[in-house]
Structure 1
Amino acid sequence: MKKKQLLRLLGLGLLAMVFLAGCVQNENGVPTGEGWVYNLLVAPMGQLITYFAKDQGFGYGIGIILTTLIVRAIIFPLGLYQAWKASSQAVRREHLKPILDPIQERLKNAKDQQEQLLIQQEMMAVQKENGLSMLGGMGCLPLLIQMPFFTAIFYAARYTPGVSEATFLGMDLGSPSIVLTVIVGLLYFLQSYLSMLAVDPDQRAQMKSMMYMSPLMIVFFSFTSPAGVTLYWLVGGIIQIVQQLIVNYIVRPYHKRKIAEEFEKNPPKARPSTASSYKKDVTPASNNQAVLPNKPKNTQKRNAGKQRSR
């Protein structure tokens, strides 16, 4: 269930990226300067990078880093709120495992579609009564709000005039950097590993492949992108690690304590199963016909036929 939710959210994120990329109108991959995302976000971020690089004399590498930090600081509360809700739901689900696991097992062994429907209704009722969301509390709104900023800083880091010709610590910001790619891959792997620590131990084995998906995607994109973009991903990776540490060592322990107190006062109870009394009618059709009342025989018509034949 958890893995399906993560895959669903990942798919929504990718769709949002495709949609928002279309809002930045481009020709042969280069922005034309049109589109609401470009006008409201990309252009101001590009100007901020140029301000730090030229007006303040920091250079384009530091300009990208400072601009990314500012953007991330703006959307950090949204990411933390999303993590807060998701952590609360994950801890609540752990407490409900003794109730939910038997229902899921019966759902897995359901004999027909009607029985599956009844068990699913029972599952939804138990989750609703105990404050558990079908989406795991994660929701899509915080992610969708953040996506325009991610898209904008990506384009700003790649296409701001002067970035492609600049260098940072001896690295050409206009060309891919193997060193930055390796560092970014390690950072995102660490972030994935820390996020796995916040998952129920029984589900870690099922979600192990997810731990490698994000780092591999970032490594692939970094290997094919200019170092200016990879520098943006590097800063983003550090901030995600900080956020995950806050979740693991502050947010999750808080929810574990509060929800344990809540369930100690009001222990969750399983609902009476509506599917347990459901029995499929497996009586053969021939037997059903056998118990039907016999139709009266119309002997008059049969005798009349015999008399006419004489």
Structure 2
Amino acid sequence: MNKLNRIYASGILLSCLLLLSGCVQMKNGQPTGVVWDFLGKPMSMAIEYFANNQGLGYGVGLIIVVIIVRLIIFPLGIYQSKNATYHSEKRNFLSPIFTPINERMKNAETQEEKILAQQELLNAQRAHGVSIMGGIGCLPILIQMPFFSAIYVAAANTPGIKASVFLGIDLGKPSLVLTAIVALLYFIQSKMSMYGMDQEQQDQMKNMMYMTPIMMVMFTLGAQAGVTLYWVVGGLFQILQQLVINYWVRPKMKARVAAEFEANPPQWDKYKPKATKDVTPKNAGALKQGKQNKKKRNAGKQKSR
């Protein structure tokens, strides 16, 4: 089940990266489609407005528009993370139930034992209202995706961006400096996301902590710097969102979970691993003593011979 959660989380991340350009169609090298017409094109025009009409340049114009877009969808990100944090805190509280079952699953010697432990874990999660997918909902992602896609394509296709320079960086060519910054930001965010988790959950998330920045490096390494600059601003917002989750949302969810289980105590005994039956004979001590006496008598007979 833990492996399934990791695969699910990895799939979401990969899907987000691959679908950024999928919401906007390209025709003859130019973006088109409903998402581009209603979101992407206004974003591109806003970038040009700040760059040309306000004289701020395309780098600053792109940053401003990305900030505006991220602020618009920020509540959705917090909502999604709030649900995930709620289920994470439930798992923390119920670790005395889940940890022994996970240990039995890990140490199962037969497939039957493993299946029984998995079923027991599913039953325990359902009984206590813990989502097997960690509370990560698809709807907030689907709502945010057109915005991400539109600003991504706007950053990649606004003509002035490719021909401009920002802080000495040619925005029309790949930038190793910006790629390194993106990797660092997403590593920090991934590290921060493990805050407040128990050791078992942290062990499960270690792979994701390295996978996310590696995937971002692969995604931005060959991209033009204007697109990478978009990911830099996005990484900063991810860190901001994680700070809100760690120091405002998580304490509230922790208190909520404690109150819920105080009103409706968890069923600790029902899902405890059953103790192994003691099959040692009650007269084992007497049998052992009898064997020792027999050996002594045999030894005495051999000496008398």
TM-score bucket (shorter structure): 0.7 to 0.9
TM-score (norm 2): 0.80
Counterpart residue number, 2:136:
138
Unaligned runs of 5+ in 1: 277-310
**1:48 to 1:172, Cα distance in 2 relative to 1, 3 A:** same
Alignment of 1:14 onto 2:14: yes
**1:12 to 1:239, Cα distance in 2 relative to 1, 3 A:** closer
Output aligned runs, 1:24-35, within 5 Å: 24-26=24-26, 30=29, 32-35=30-33
Does the 8 Å CA contact 2:31/2:153 hold for their aligned counterparts?
no
Counterpart residue number, 2:73:
75
Counterpart residue number, 2:188:
190
Counterpart residue number, 1:261:
259
After superposition, the CA RMSD in angstroms is: 2.6
Output aligned runs, 1:195-206, within 5 Å: 195-206=193-204
Identity in percent: 50
Matched to 2:203, the amino acid is: A
Unaligned runs of 5+ in 2: 275-305
Does the 8 Å CA contact 2:92/2:197 hold for their aligned counterparts?
no
Measure how far apart 1:116 and its partner are: 6.0
Does the 8 Å CA contact 1:126/1:271 hold for their aligned counterparts?
no
> How many residue pairs were aligned?
273
**1:168 to 1:18, Cα distance in 2 relative to 1, 3 A:** closer
Q: Deviations over 1:197-223 (max 9, x none)?
A: 233223323432211111122223322
Q: Which moved more, 1:208-217 or 1:15-24?
A: 15-24
| Alignment match of 1:165 (pick from 156, 163, 166) | 163
**1:12 to 1:220, Cα distance in 2 relative to 1, 3 A:** closer
Q: Which moved more, 1:14-23 or 1:125-134?
A: 14-23
Does the 8 Å CA contact 1:52/1:60 hold for their aligned counterparts?
yes
SS at match of 1:142: helix
Q: Deviations over 1:93-121 (max 9, x none)?
A: 111121223333444538455x7666545
Matched to 1:234, the amino acid is: V
Output aligned runs, 1:62-141, within 5 Å: 62-108=60-106, 109=108, 111=110, 120-141=118-139
Does the 8 Å CA contact 1:52/1:59 hold for their aligned counterparts?
yes
TM-score (norm 1): 0.79
Q: Deviations over 1:133-187 (max 9, x none)?
A: 1221112221222122212111110111211001112211111222222222221
Matched to 2:185, the amino acid is: L
| Alignment match of 2:35 (pick from 30, 34, 37) | 37
Does the 8 Å CA contact 1:17/1:147 hold for their aligned counterparts?
no
Q: Deviations over 1:244-298 (max 9, x none)?
A: 111111111222222223323432004757x98xxxxxxxxxxxxxxxxxxxxxx
Q: Which moved more, 1:58-67 or 1:254-263?
A: 254-263
